[in-house]
């Protein structure tokens, strides 16, 4: 993915925080929201803070983080990141970079735990090599050094993360012996095979407990795992009869300093590493209170393809995440920021709480959208739903006349129409008969817990960020 082209500036973003917005507008929105720009040709290039954008000359005025000096960059120097509808961990390049950074973190942690046996300020290549024998990762140390993003080294991301893991768990784990760090290893696959076995049993039961598409990442989002057990061991193979049994053993092993799942999030330049434990049995899961929802961030129905739901724990953005399909919710502004809850799980929770499904009796997104797109009366039905619920949108914008609505609807791309159609179907359940503030609170709580991998079926892990 390269920098923004002139063609990019003539089109709208199909994904990202500002999906359906024109890219010149996204410059202004990112500046207003204080979201960083990337000056360079890759996602690992320096992040800067925008001050203003000259649309005529296509010049971004910015400051580097921690500096008051003002700089300028041409539009063609700005990386097309996720906010502009590009970037993204889902691409092949993004997946490779993730493998490299997670593997490299294993090497740094191994050095701190097994060689230095304490926090450090810097680590040399020779020191990393001395710790490599205690790592079982998908990427070799040589590849991590050669191909990994340089900014992670320059910003001390690996050192800060390793030191924080040591601070929290170093002494407790090293008293059991050597600590091996795993990334996509046979040991890790054994951990998640126990989850899969438990899920299969749950699905076959008369009263399944796990919500919708409860994937492995929602059970435990450990990017890397630390253990003092032999690399060939399968510590969970005898504890997969139920979620309670399995998750109790995961927490027991973590408390004993034997097995620990570690979720990684990049620490910003100049930032401090923090740690937070999730799904600890002694912790009470937080209540989340619903506050309001709106058509996008402006209240204007046609300005964006999403809706935002505001809760006291943050925001949930609902939209399609794959151009025309894959409608789901994404959390922003909380400990669960970036976490997603799929449309299937939103539907599952709506049926549990409201007794109604968002797919109009068709079971899933694909058949519903197929029916909608073949129904010549759907635009009028969409207007009826918009009219029914518009007064509750915050911020609120005056009702659009039907003729204007239908004309605007016709002029939008399929991705916009599909996204907004799903939003309307969801809102009709959320705001329908039989709902209450208590039920809305419960739905928001379940969506936040799912997105943060903290459902009742999720297991213990620590997040370093």
Q: What CATH number does the domain containing 23 carry?
A: 2.30.30
Same domain, 314 and 429: yes
- Kindly report, residue by residue over 318-335, the tens digit of the pLDDT: 999 887 888 999 888 665
> Rounded to whole angstroms, how far apart are CA atoms 444 and 290?
6
Report for 199-203, 221-225, 364-368: range of highest mean pLDDT: 221-225
Q: Taking 50 as the threshold, does the pLDDT of residue 238 lie above it?
A: yes
What is the arithmetic mean of pLDDT over 151-175? Answer: 95
CA-wise closest residue to 22 among 83, 73, 74: 83
Domain annotation covers residue 355: yes
Backbone Cα Rg of the chain:
24
b/e 55-77 (16+ beta carbons within 10 angstroms → b): eeebebebeeeeeeeeeebebeb
Angle of CA points 335, 341, 343, to nearest 5°: 160
- DSSP 8-state code for residue 253: H
Same domain, 300 and 448: yes
User: Looking at per-residue confidence, does 282 or 160 come out higher?
Assistant: 160
Domain annotation covers residue 3: no
pLDDT value, residue 261:
98
Q: Is 464 helix (H, G, I), strand (E, B) or coil?
A: strand
Residue that terminates a domain, selected from 233, 248, 273: 273
pLDDT interval class at 355 (50, 70, 90): very high
pLDDT interval class at 12 (50, 70, 90): confident
pLDDT value, residue 373:
94
Domain annotation covers residue 203: yes
Task: Give the lowest-confidence range in 1-5, 12-16, 112-116, 123-127.
Answer: 12-16
b/e 340-355 (16+ beta carbons within 10 angstroms → b): bbbbbbbbbbbeebbe
Domain tally, the chain: 3
End-to-end Cα, the chain, rounded Å: 26
pLDDT value, residue 58:
94
Q: Which domain holds residue 132?
A: 92-273
Same domain, 261 and 325: no
Domain annotation covers residue 458: no
CA-wise closest residue to 78 among 97, 98, 58: 58
The answer for residues whose C-beta is within 8 angstroms of residue 134's C-beta and 6 or more apart is: 110, 113, 114, 178, 179, 180, 181
Residue that terminates a domain, selected from 84, 115, 135: 84
> Rounded to whole angstroms, how far apart are CA atoms 418 and 378?
11
Same domain, 218 and 133: yes
Largest CA distance in the chain: 73
Angle of CA points 296, 24, 10, to nearest 5°: 105
- Kindly report, residue by residue over 44-53, the tens digit of the pLDDT: 788 999 999 9
Q: Is 247 helix (H, G, I), strand (E, B) or coil?
A: helix
Q: Are strands 180-183 and 135-137 parallel, antiparallel or unpaired?
A: parallel
Q: Are strands 59-64 and 47-54 parallel, antiparallel or unpaired?
A: antiparallel
Domain annotation covers residue 150: yes
Task: Give the lowest-confidence range in 149-153, 217-221, 412-416.
Answer: 149-153
Residue that terminates a domain, selected from 238, 273, 308: 273
Domain annotation covers residue 279: no
Domain annotation covers residue 224: yes
Same domain, 117 and 253: yes
DSSP string, 86-148: ---TTSHHHHHHHHHHHHHHHHHHHIIIIII-S--S---HHHHHHHGGGEEESS-HHHHHHHS
Same domain, 77 and 225: no
Domain annotation covers residue 283: no
Same domain, 64 and 100: no
CA-wise closest residue to 357 among 366, 369, 344, 371: 344
User: Looking at per-residue confidence, does 266 or 222 come out higher?
Assistant: 222
User: Looking at per-residue confidence, does 291 or 150 come out higher?
Assistant: 291
Cα 196 from chain centroid? Answer: 22
Q: Report pTM.
A: 0.60
Same domain, 167 and 264: yes
pLDDT interval class at 1 (50, 70, 90): very low
pLDDT interval class at 460 (50, 70, 90): very high
- DSSP 8-state code for residue 248: H
Alpha helices in 374-458 (DSSP H): 378-389, 402-411, 414-430, 437-451
Residue 336's Cβ-count burial label (10 Å; 0-12, 13-18, 19+) is buried
Same domain, 264 and 298: no
What is the arithmetic mean of pLDDT over 35-63? Answer: 91
Same domain, 220 and 305: no
Same domain, 226 and 335: no
Same domain, 208 and 259: yes
Cα 421 from chain centroid? Answer: 23
Q: Taking 90 as the threshold, does the pLDDT of residue 37 lie above it?
A: yes
């Amino acid at each position: 993915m390269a920098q923004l082209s002139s063609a990019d500036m003539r089109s709208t973003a199909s994904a990202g925080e500002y999906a359906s917005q024109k890219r010149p507008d996204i410059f202004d929105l990112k500046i207003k929201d204080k979201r960083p720009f990337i000056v360079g040709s890759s996602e690992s290039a320096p992040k800067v803070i925008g001050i203003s954008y000259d649309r005529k000359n296509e010049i971004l005025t910015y400051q580097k983080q921690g500096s008051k000096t003002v700089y300028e960059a041409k539009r063609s120097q700005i990386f097309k990141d996720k906010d502009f509808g590009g970037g993204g961990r889902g691409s092949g390049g993004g997946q490779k970079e993730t493998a490299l950074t997670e593997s490299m973190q294993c090497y740094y942690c191994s050095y701190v735990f097994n060689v230095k046996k304490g926090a450090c300020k810097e680590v040399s290549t020779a020191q990393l090599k001395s710790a490599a024998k205690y790592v079982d990762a998908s990427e070799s140390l040589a590849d991590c050094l050669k191909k990994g993003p340089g900014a992670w080294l320059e910003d001390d991301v690996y050192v800060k993360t390793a030191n924080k893991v040591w601070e929290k768990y170093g002494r407790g784990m090293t008293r059991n012996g050597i600590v091996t760090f795993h990334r996509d290893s046979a040991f890790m696959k054994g951990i998640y095979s126990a989850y899969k076995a438990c899920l299969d049993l749950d699905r076959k039961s008369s009263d399944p407990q796990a919500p919708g598409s409860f994937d492995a990442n929602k059970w435990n989002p450990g990017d890397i795992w630390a253990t003092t057990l032999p690399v060939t061991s399968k510590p969970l193979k005898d504890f997969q009869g139920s979620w309670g049994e399995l998750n109790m053993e995961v927490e027991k092993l973590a408390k004993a300093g034997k097995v620990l799942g570690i979720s990684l999030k990049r620490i910003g330049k100049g930032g401090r590493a923090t740690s937070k434990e999730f799904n600890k049995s002694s912790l009470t899961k937080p209540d989340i209170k619903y506050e309001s929802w709106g058509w996008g961030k402006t209240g204007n129905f046609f300005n964006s393809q999403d809706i935002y739901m505001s809760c006291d724990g943050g925001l949930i953005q609902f939209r399609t995440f794959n151009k025309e399909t894959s409608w789901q919710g994404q959390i922003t502004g909380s400990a669960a920021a970036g976490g997603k809850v799929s449309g299937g799980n939103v539907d599952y929770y709506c049926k549990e709480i409201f007794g109604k499904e968002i797919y109009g009796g068709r079971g899933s997104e694909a058949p519903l959208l197929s029916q909608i797109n073949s129904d010549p009366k759907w635009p009028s039905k969409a207007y009826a739903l918009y009219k029914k619920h518009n007064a509750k949108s915050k911020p609120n914008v005056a009702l659009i006349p039907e003729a204007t609505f239908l004309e605007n609807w016709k002029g939008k791309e399929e991705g916009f129409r599909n996204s907004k159609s799903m939003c309307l179907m969801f809102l009709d359940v959320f705001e329908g008969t039989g709902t209450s503030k208590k039920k809305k609170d419960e739905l928001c709580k379940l969506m936040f817990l799912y997105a943060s991998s903290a459902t009742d079926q999720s297991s213990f892990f620590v997040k370093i960020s």
